[in-house]
Structure 1
Amino acid sequence: MKIHDYVLVVVRNLRETCDDDYVNVLRQQGYHVEVIPAGQDPIPVMEARPPIAACFQFDYPDLQGLADLREAKKRTSSIPLLMITQAHSEHLAVWAFRARVWDYFVHPIDMPRFLAVFETLRSVRLPGQAAASGKNALDLQNTIPPEARLRCPAPGGQQSQLDRALAYLDQNLHRKIAQSEVAESCGLSTFQFSRLFKRLTGDTFQEYLLHRRIAEAMRLLANPKVSITDVCFTVGFRDLSYFTRTFQRYVGQPPSRYRLSMAESAAQSSSKPAIPTPAPGMSPEARIDKAETSLSPSS
């Protein structure tokens, strides 16, 4: 199979705009980049002209977009897939690696590591390169860094404090959350926590919390058995009209239209996995877990 000297970017954004500066960086480094827009199937292109790698670009990953990535990996298993996302969670990262993506990047992208991955992939996959030495380089690039193996963050370290805060948010997303209570759970003052959170995440606490609520709402809306009102309250909103306005501002369409567009998209392609029907009496969170489990590749 002939590998072609280009990078394929598969756009699966839910909003019209998304940070894609990495595309310009790749082009500046001499890579030819081709883009598959949202709504277009990338598999025919990947099968006809296998690229060095394919980047699946998400702003807020939804069930349909993740299903597209999994289907591409299934149909073109030899092509390395990279996942690039604005919305990030530990659960999403675990899903990505279970889906056998080659690497996973969160905005803002670590450009030195990003370019190093492509440099290695290019040297391995293009004809005329030394396969053996390239394979060794590729393995080296994708191994756990030695310092990560030898050192663990101290219990009171900043990253540990942030991880504790993010876990606290996920566990309490259904209710009103004050920044002061999260700061207290991390053993910090509100001012210290605010500075730490902004520096490590790039967002203010309130910005991150709102993005997280909307991302979770999008996941819940993937299940037609969960009412929009239930979604609203499950992700911590207390007013349906405010939830609808906020959702539309971030996603570009109201929750009802977003859910309908997902159903229409799924109906257009019978090859796409259907959203599983949850058992009666399951909580919204359990239903989402069931839906995501259906996307996990077979072991």
Structure 2
Amino acid sequence: MSQAGTPKLLWLDLRGSERSSTLLGLFCERFQIDFLDPYNPEVSLLEQPVMAICFDFDYPDMHGLTLMRELYQRYQLPEIMMTEQHSEALMVWALRARVWEILLKPMQRSTAEFQLDSLQATLISAQAHREELHHVSTMLRLPEESRFRAANAEQNAVHPALSYMQLHLGEKMSEELLAKFCNLRPLQFSRLFKKAYGVTFQELLQQLRMQEASHLLTNPDRQILDVALSVGYRDHSYFCRVFKKYMGVTPKTYQEQQVNRSEKEQQAAIAHRLTAVANLAGPLELGVREGRSG
């Protein structure tokens, strides 16, 4: 049972697979959660005030995004979006759709706990000062390339190349091509890039590709070859060798580890739902027994 003063959130599970990553268990530790039917999401605002609606995606589809817009227009409640899709286009859509908070999955437990603790504090405060909910959360993340802000002259000079790299991880690219984006000669570009980021562009490109591959592999339905092609590797065996070099395990092992972790999270969520049902059924059963004894 939720303690008095615990913010109430509504939850829509819009994941394509129950094995996909979810933060539901951590949310349940901090908030009162009421579950909505994704195909008939009727919201009652007459009882305890609802603070926000949570949309748990793996990879958002048109139905889910349309539903977000419709529910915002209908109820004007802050919306919290969780997604495994990391793209500039989705971030821009979220900002335009007035999404209040975005959480990118998967994330380490310590990171998730820090963000949800901050979210909990904000919503507890907003229960007395609802106007705070009109402002987009300060945790709303910008597109990935925005995190590499130019801090010196060298980074300013090669920043266009970095942005291009992050948006075209699945494509072939050469030093000559990236140098052209920065209006530099290849040798000059190579020297400035190494000075700006401490590694060559090939090394950073490989790191970015492995980071994106690790995100894609959290989807248990993705084929290893498909992931390799998505991040610019045409040779399956070479991709596996590079991935193991960076991650310490093969892509297949990494994917299985993520599936096992997701299954444990799913079991925790099911256990919480069963507990919630038992807490609701307790008083009802007691009333029935009293009626029979009377």
Report the TM-score when normalising by structure 1. 0.49
Aligned to 1:227: none
Structure 1 residue 10: deviation in Å? 0.9
Q: Does residue 167 of the first structure (1) align with residue 167 of the second (2)?
A: yes
In structure 2, the residue corresponding to 1:105 is in which secondary structure? strand
Alignment equivalent of 2:99, drawn from 101, 105, 113: 101
Select the structure of larger CA radius of gyration.
2
Q: Aligned equivalents of 1:70 and 1:80: distance in 2?
A: 11
- From the superposition, tell whether residues 87 and 139 of structure 1 become closer, same or farther in structure 2 (CA, over 3 Å): closer
2:81 alignment partner, one of 68, 80, 83? 83
Q: Relative to structure 1, is the Cα distance of residues 183 and 70 closer, same or farther in structure 2, using a 3 angstrom cutoff? A: farther
Aligned twin of 2:270: none
Q: What residue is the counterpart of 1:60 in the other structure?
A: 59
User: Aligned to 1:153, which of 136, 147, 150?
Assistant: 150
1:116 partner SS: helix
Q: Which residue of 2 aligns with 1:210?
A: 230
Pairwise CA RMSD of aligned residues?
A: 4.2
State the SS of the aligned residue for 1:45. Answer: coil
2:123 to 121, 124, 128: 121
Letter in 2 for 1:207: V
State the partner residue of 2:25: 24
Q: TM-score, normalised by structure 2?
A: 0.50
**Is this contact kept in 2: 1:11–1:57, CA < 8 A?**
yes
2:33 is aligned to 33
Following superposition, the deviation at residue 160 of structure 1 comes to: 7.1
Q: Distance in 1 between matches of 2:44 and 2:231?
A: 32
- Return 5+ residue gaps in structure 1 as ranges: 213-299
Q: Indicate the larger mover: 112-121 or 85-94.
A: 112-121
Report how far residue 19 of structure 1 moved.
Answer: 0.7
Q: Distance in 2 between matches of 1:185 and 1:210?
A: 20
Cα 1:24–1:16, aligned 2, differ >3 Å: closer, same or farther? closer
Distance 1:45 1:60, change over 3 A: same
Is the counterpart of residue 194 in structure 1 residue 193 in structure 2? Answer: no
Instruction: State the match for 2:242 in structure 1.
Output: none
How far apart are residue 88 of structure 1 and its match? Answer: 2.2
Select which of 14, 17, 30 maps to 2:16: 14
Q: For residues 16-45 of structure 1, what are the alpha-carbon distances to aligned partners after superposition, in whole Å with 9 as ceiling and x for unaligned? A: 33211x22112233x2223335x4322x12
- 1:5–1:191 CA distance, 2 compared to 1 (3 A): closer
* CA-to-aligned-CA distance 1:82-137 (integer Å, 9 cap, x gap): 11111121111111121111112211344223331232122212xxx3x2xx7569
- CA shift at 1:207, angstroms? 2.9
Between the aligned partners of 1:144 and 1:64, the Cα distance in structure 2 is 23
Q: In the TM superposition, what are the counterparts of 1:236-255 in structure 2 within 5 Å?
A: none
The answer (yes or no) to whether the contact 1:165–1:182 under 8 Å persists in 2 is: no
Distance across 1 between alignment mates of 2:136 and 2:176: 39
Q: Deviations over 1:47-85 (max 9, x none)?
A: 4555221111111111111000000000011x2111111
Aligned counterparts of 1:116 and 1:141: Cα–Cα separation in 2 = 10
Aligned equivalents of 1:9 and 1:69: distance in 2?
A: 12
Whole-Å separation in 1 of the counterparts to 2:140 and 2:57:
25
* Matching residue of 1:273: none
Matched residue count: 188
Structure 2 CA distance for partners of 1:135 and 1:48, relative to 1, 3 Å: closer
Tell me the percent identity: 22
Please list, as runs of the form range in 1=range in 2, the aligned pairs for 1:271-282 lying within 5 A after superposition: none
